[in-house]
Amino acid sequence: MKYIIKIFFFIALLTNPLLMLGEEPMTGEALFKKNCKSCHNLHQKLVGPALSGINERRDSAWVYQFVKGSQAMVEAGDATAVALFQEYNQVIMPNQTVTDDELASILDYIKNATTAKASDNPIQRPPVDWGRVTHPMKFNTLVYWIPLTIGIIGLIFMLYYMTVLYDLGRDMREGKL
């Protein structure tokens, strides 16, 4: 019994670091830096246009489509895309391989950065992203909790049996059995 409990605890301890291996999603800011910053700044033109206020300037469906395939839109004759392409010296914005979720957090970051700049409030609070506070249950989580739970139940049983054995021993010593 003791050994089994020890083994369970050992497994629980061992799997603890596995939990930390579960990748946290990158923040919008980090994604922006990684994918867009080489050509875009929020408030200044670089290779591409300043992106602050993009949520007001363009329809969000248009932005998603453009980021993933700007040239296809230029070729299809989308008036805004063609105008931008001409304005930016026919530099092709490469199709971005970000997922819809990633793009959504990039756009959130741009939007928050835009409003932060526009407001005069000297005390800026970072936007709380409640969406990141909870994360879906993963296999790792189960690998951790199941042995731990079994271990704790086992421990309770062990303590219980110790009291039973103790009572038994006492009764035997006192000659009651």
Residues forming the site for ligand HEC (CB under 6 A): 35-36, 38-40, 47-49, 51, 54, 57-58, 63, 66-67, 70, 84-85, 88, 91-94, 96, 98, 106
Q: How far is the CB of 124 from ligand HEC (least distance, A)?
A: 23
Residue written as tokens 């303590």? 159
Q: How far is the CB of 108 from ligand HEC (least distance, A)?
A: 11
Question: For residue 31, with 0-12 CB atoms within 10 Å meaning exposed, 13-18 middle and 19 or more buried, which class applies?
Answer: buried
Q: How far is the CB of 99 from ligand HEC (least distance, A)?
A: 11
* Alpha carbon of residue 66 to chain centroid: 25
**Residue with Cβ nearer ligand HEC (42 or 98):** 98
**Residue with Cβ nearer ligand HEC (15 or 35):** 35
Contact in structure between 66 and 44 (CB atoms under 8 Å): no
* Cβ within 8 Å of residue 111, ≥6 positions away: 55
Single-letter amino acid code for the residue at 173 = R
- Measured between alpha carbons, how far is 94 from 74 in angstroms, rounded to an integer? 12
**Residue with Cβ nearer ligand HEC (25 or 150):** 25
**Residue with Cβ nearer ligand HEC (8 or 85):** 85
**CA-closest candidate to residue 115, choices 131, 126, 104:** 126
Q: How far is the CB of 41 from ligand HEC (least distance, A)?
A: 11
Q: How far is the CB of 10 from ligand HEC (least distance, A)?
A: 45
The token pair that represents 10 in the structure block? 């050992």
**Residue with Cβ nearer ligand HEC (18 or 46):** 46
